[in-house]
Amino acid sequence: MSTNSSTQQLQNIFTFPFKDPDWVKKLAIGSLLILSGFIIPILPLLFIYGYIIRIMERIIVQDGELYLPEWDDWGKFFTDGARLLGAGLIYALPVMVLIGLGYLVSFLPVMLVPWMGTNADSYSVGSALFPLFGMFIGYGVMGVGILLGILIAIIVPAGLGHLVAKDRFFAAFQVNEWWPIFRANFIGFLLAFVILMGISMIVYLIFQILFLTIILCCLIPLVLSVYSMYISLISMTLFAQTYADGVHMLEE
């Protein structure tokens, strides 16, 4: 999405899934796959991401109208989805390492306190300060991880868009090729991130309401599956459009 994108373009992105005559069936299939992910982790997501790649190709490669593809090529959905998910996980790995390390540093001192010594004075002082010091360092590391995660969330869509554009896994990591596209439409990528974060906050509040009653709690897995399918379509479509706009801006 470029800075001069019209409101109509955003409306098309958010409403295109419902314009297909078979949108209920197509979204239901995706939602059921996500729901099955509660039982079989990861595997259903590969088909979802492969399905989304076909939509991204429509925007980035074919420069065509938004549409919902048929669920008709499960083998290709699987392999394409593995590429997209794999690239995303590799980019997220530093964030996961930092946050995991932060948790470890935060809680490890608490477990080590009983082994710090037998002297009563030193033990009491150490047992009070050592965990606090560990928490301070650990939370600092987690904070760096969170900031890095935000930065990656803004930048990486350009790399994933490049993967789709070039139809190669390693294209996602050829920063010298996709960085000019990101830089040309930096505001667009930033705005796309902000929009999706705003939607996530609104949905979070809605789910808090669902937790208020037992009946609504029972609906959470189903509602979450439908929402996850929709937001996956919208977010990657938004990023694909932003990438395509960046390419056009670079060519001007």
The answer as to whether 214 is a domain residue is yes
Residue 3 has pLDDT above 50, yes or no: no
Which two tokens mark 167?
A: 């139809």
Within-domain flag for 240: yes
200 within some domain: yes
Cβ-based neighbours of 183, under 8 Å, separated by 6 or more: none
Give me the half-sphere count of Cα atoms (radius 13 Å) on the Cβ side of residue 11: 3
Establish if 1 belongs to a structural domain: no
- The helix-helix angle for 120-166 and 43-60 (nearest 10°) equals 50
Q: Which of 3-7, 81-85, 186-190 has the lowest mean pLDDT?
A: 3-7
Does 246 score more than 80 pLDDT?
yes
* Packed helices 214-251 and 7-15: angle between N→C axes, nearest 10 degrees: 130
Domain that holds residue 33: 7-251
Look-up: residue for tokens 């509040």?
Answer: 205
Residue 242 domain flag = yes
Long-range contacts, stretch 108-114, CB < 8 angstroms, 24+ apart: 108/134, 109/133, 109/134, 109/135, 110/134
pLDDT in tens, 100-116: 998 888 877 666 655 55
Q: What is the mean pLDDT of the chain?
A: 86
Give mean pLDDT, residues 33-41: 89
Mean per-residue pLDDT, 58-78: 91
Please give the tally of structural domains in the chain: 1
Is pLDDT at 122 greater than 60 in this prediction? no
- Which position has the higher pLDDT, 221 or 178? 178
Please tell me the distance from the alpha carbon of residue 91 to that of residue 93, in angstroms, as a whole number.
6
Find, among 232, 231, 189, the residue nearest to 206 by Cα. Answer: 231
pLDDT on residue 127: 58
Q: pLDDT-derived band of residue 204, with 50, 70 and 90 as boundaries? A: confident
70: nearest Cα among 109, 22, 105: 22
Q: How confident is the model at residue 98 (pLDDT cuts 50, 70, 90)?
A: very high
Q: Is residue 134 part of a domain?
A: yes
Query: Does 7 score more than 70 pLDDT?
Result: yes
Mean pLDDT of 59-87: 93
pLDDT at 202: 85
Residue 17, classed as helix, strand or coil, is helix
Q: Is residue 31 part of a domain?
A: yes
- Residue ranges in the chain assigned as alpha helix (H): 7-15, 23-36, 43-60, 74-112, 120-166, 175-184, 186-210, 214-251
Residue 124 binned pLDDT confidence (cut-offs 50, 70, 90): low
State phi, psi for 4 to the nearest 5 degrees.
-100, 20
For 208, the token pair is 């808090």
The predicted structure's pLDDT at residue 4:
46
Assess if residue 2 is contained within a domain. no
Q: Give the pLDDT confidence score for residue 213 in this predicted structure.
A: 67
